[in-house]
Amino acid sequence: MIPYDKYESFRNQADVSSLLAKNLVSSKAKDANLVFSPVSIHVLLGLIAAGSKGPTLNQLLSFLESKSTEELNSLSSQLATLVFTDGGPLGGPRLSFANGVWVDQSLSLKPTFKEIVHNAYEAAARSC
């Protein structure tokens, strides 16, 4: 069950997912089969937002219908807890996806960003 204090965030995520699906189906998959993960796309954009600032961050927050990166981070953490764990006493269904951030070795990642990626998104961030 969705915690009451997170309901708006989950509803906004569902709205963004519907928008993505509608645009994909109308432009790319009119007469074809299509499989995509709106949750994965939302989490990816949240990861990008966590490392963004200025106009880029503002555009991402607007598109994702979120007030702050903290709200996005919290939503992703809740998604990991609610969706991507064994769903019942018999161990299913189990859903998962892999997230990571890879950056050129000549660039460095801020420790706070690495911490957010690890804690909120259960992902890895490293320079390669």
The C-alpha atoms of residue 99 and residue 103 are separated, in whole angstroms, by 13
pLDDT tens digits along 70-124: 988 888 887 766 665 555 565 555 556 666 777 888 888 888 888 888 888 777 7
- Cβ-proximal residues to 121 (8 Å cutoff; 6+ apart), any chain: 43, 46, 47, 50, 73, 76, 77, 80, 99
Prediction pTM value: 0.71
Q: What is the domain-level CATH number for residue 20?
A: 3.30.497.10
Judge whether residue 58 has pLDDT over 90.
yes
Q: Domain residues for 19? A: 4-27+35-127
pLDDT computed for residue 18 by the predictor: 84
pLDDT tens digits along 27-56: 766 777 777 778 778 888 888 899 899 999
Number of domains in the chain: 1
Q: Are 43 and 99 in contact (CB under 8 A)?
A: yes
